[in-house]
Homo-oligomer: A and B are copies of this chain.
Amino acid sequence: MSESSKSSKSPNSSRRNNTDPESTRKEILQAALEVLAKDGPESLSVTQVARLAGVNRGTAYQHFPTREDLTHATTAWVSERIYEEFYGDFEELSEKNEVYPADLAQERLSEFAMNNPELSRAWLFDVMSTKGVVTDPFWTRYVKELEAFRKSGYGRQDIDVEVFAFISLSSALLWPIWVGAHAKNSKSRKKMQRRFVDEMMRLTLFGSLEPSVHTELLERFGKTTAPD
């Protein structure tokens, strides 16, 4: 008995026979996401994923020929899901206003990250996996929206859109992980989310320096326009 999920000796007892290949694929991807979010793409094993998905290892190999295929499919799936869950209902949300308001965007991003720590982790791992120049639709769209916001006159004209997008995105997605390690109960986690949103809002509104004692800096950076 080199490989066995339960202790069924006869091979005829094939319970759990799913007719829908797409659903098992999803289950495998979901399990893959969970293990990927834990330790990163390099320490993802097909065996582990199959166990977690409650699926035979052979089945996993039918869907994803190699380990690499599985990790790639998973990160792609993560990207799609993030985009979908974040921008899926964006049109109806923003059509009421010509521009999606900054505070709601911040709130929404933070809430999303808090409610989807696994997706956040997976995304961050993807960013950190040296190979990956991130070209996923989520990032692209986020930058695009921010640029529109800047152009609309609601945002400062001199912000470096890409850098600011990076700062807000990375910290918002990393925060829940930090919080998960520090905050015990869900009430405490809610509070931490509040703190993050508030601080981020305060930062985007006012910055962090007392202007009256930084006249020299104000002059140096106040005159600067957005970099090329």
Contact = CB atoms under 8 A, between A and B. Distances in A.
Interface of A: 38-40, 42-43, 102-103, 121, 124-125, 127-128, 130-134, 153-160, 162-164, 166-167, 170-171, 174-175, 177-178, 180-182, 194-196, 198-211, 213-214, 217-218, 221-222, 224, 227
Given A156-B206, A207-B206, A181 B221 contact: no
Nearest to A157: B210
A182 B199 CA distance: 29
Could you tell me the dominant secondary structure of chain A's interface residues?
Answer: helix
Given A40-B43, A171-B171, A202-B221, A209 B158 contact: no
A210 B170 contact: no
Number of copies: 2
Contact of A207 (B39, B130, B134, B207): B207
A2 to B, nearest CB: 24
A14 B227 CA distance: 57
* Closest 6 pairs (CB-CB, A-B): A39-B42, A163-B199, A43-B43, A160-B199, A42-B43, A204-B208
A40 B213 CA distance: 43
A124 to B, nearest CB: 7
Contacts of A194: 227
Contacts of A182: 133
B167 A217 contact: no
Contact of A203 (B38, B40, B164, B201): B164
Given A128-B177, A196-B163, A198-B160, A209 B205 contact: yes
B43 A131 contact: no
Given A43-B42, A210-B153, A132 B202 contact: no
Contacts of A210: 153-157
A207 B200 CA distance: 9
A167 B213 contact: no
Highest count of chain B CB atoms <10 Å: which of A153, A155, A182: A155
7 contacts: A40-B40, A159-B202, A163-B196, A167-B199, A171-B171, A204-B207, A205-B214
